[in-house]
Amino acid sequence: MEFIENYTKLTPEEIAKLKDNQKARGKQDLTTREKILLLEKTKDLMFSVWGNVQGKSVMHKKIEFGPYESAMPMNKTTMFIIFRCLWTSYDYCSLSKIQDDIVVGGIVDFQMYQYPTQCVKTNKWVMRSILPVEERLKNLPFPESSTGNAIENPVEVSFKIPAYVYVGDDITALKIGVWDSTKQEWSTDYIAFGKEESKKDSRQILFTTTKFAPMAMLQSRCMDYPYQNWWLRCVSEDLAVLDLWTKRI
C-alpha cells in the first residue's frame, strides 16, 4: 500500500501544472493521479495493473493492457478499484484434459480487486490496518453471484491477434472461450459477438463477456488436418526440418 501511495502522489511541478489548467479546477484532488497503469512484459508473460485512484467514471471506456482491452462492469465504473490483466503465452488450464479446441495466442485473465484501504494521517501519526496477506487484496468476482443467477450486463473486450498466429480468410474460425473451472473445460457460453465485426486487417477480435476468468482464442484441433503432404529433410548434422502442407497453408 505504501508503494501505491507514493506512486500515485503528484510531484510539486505536476500539481502546479494542474492548477494552471482551467479544466482541472474545482473539487478535483490535485495531489494524486486520477489513474495508474503498471505493465511488465516478457516473451511469455505480461502482468499489468490499472487503478482508478480517484473513482472517476470510466463508463463506456476500455482499459488498455497492451494488445488486450476490456471495459469495466457497469456497477464498477465509478469505484476506487484495481483492475489486473495477466497474459501467458502458454496454456496452463487445459493441459490435463484433451479438448476439441486448442489455445492459440496464449491465455488472458482479467480480475478486479477492491482498492486497498488507505492510511489515516493525524498530526504526526500515520495509522494503517495490518491485514493478513490473503486479505490485503479482496477479489471482486464478475459476475458477483457464484451461482451465475445474477443478471449482469456484458462487458466489451478486444484482443489483438499475435503476429505468429495464422489467420485465414475466415477470421470467425477463431473462437473465444472462458475457462470453466468446475467442468475443467473451455466454454463459449459467456461470449457473444456484437454488431461490429472482428477486423481481419487490424487482426482484432471484438466480443463481449459476462464472466471474468481465464479466456483464450481457440481453434479446432483438426482445422489443418488431414495434411496434404509432408517432407522431412536434413539441413545439417543432427538437425532436420519437417515441412507440412496443410489444408490452409
> Would you say residue 195 has pLDDT above 60?
no
**Rounded to an integer, what distance in angstroms lies between the CA atom of residue 224 and that of residue 246?**
5
- Assess if residue 57 is contained within a domain: yes
- Assess if residue 19 is contained within a domain: no
Confidence band for 25, pLDDT divided at 50, 70 and 90: very low
Q: How does DSSP classify residue 4?
A: H
CATH at residue 202:
2.60.220.50
Q: What is the pLDDT of residue 89?
A: 96
- Assess if residue 65 is contained within a domain: yes
> Would you say residue 12 has pLDDT above 70?
no
Which range in 8-12, 169-173, 241-245 is most confidently predicted, on average pLDDT? 241-245
- Asked if residues 53 and 35 have their Cβ atoms less than 8 Å apart, the reply is yes
- Assess if residue 194 is contained within a domain: yes
Tell me which of 227 and 18 has the higher pLDDT: 227
- Assess if residue 232 is contained within a domain: yes
**Rounded to an integer, what distance in angstroms lies between the CA atom of residue 174 and that of residue 167?**
8
> Would you say residue 232 has pLDDT above 90?
yes
- Assess if residue 199 is contained within a domain: yes
**Average per-residue pLDDT for the chain:** 83
Q: What is the pLDDT of residue 71?
A: 96
Vertex 136 angle, CA 131 and 141, to 5°: 140
**Rounded to an integer, what distance in angstroms lies between the CA atom of residue 219 and that of residue 225?**
12
Give the percent of the chain with pLDDT over 90.
45
Q: What is the pLDDT of residue 24?
A: 47
- Assess if residue 225 is contained within a domain: yes
**Rounded to an integer, what distance in angstroms lies between the CA atom of residue 60 and that of residue 73?**
10
Number of domains in the chain: 1
Q: What is the pLDDT of residue 23?
A: 54
What range does the domain containing 108 cover? Answer: 34-245
Peptide bond connecting 143 to the previous residue in cis, omega within 30 degrees of 0: yes
**Rounded to an integer, what distance in angstroms lies between the CA atom of residue 175 and that of residue 189?**
11
**Rounded to an integer, what distance in angstroms lies between the CA atom of residue 71 and that of residue 152?**
13
- Assess if residue 222 is contained within a domain: yes
Which residues fall within 8 angstroms of residue 48, CB to CB, at 6 or more apart?
37, 38, 39, 40, 65, 66, 84, 85, 86
pLDDT tens digits, one per residue of 50-109 = 988 888 889 889 999 999 999 999 999 999 899 999 999 999 999 878 888 999 999 999
Q: What is the mean pLDDT of the segment spanning 182-210?
A: 83
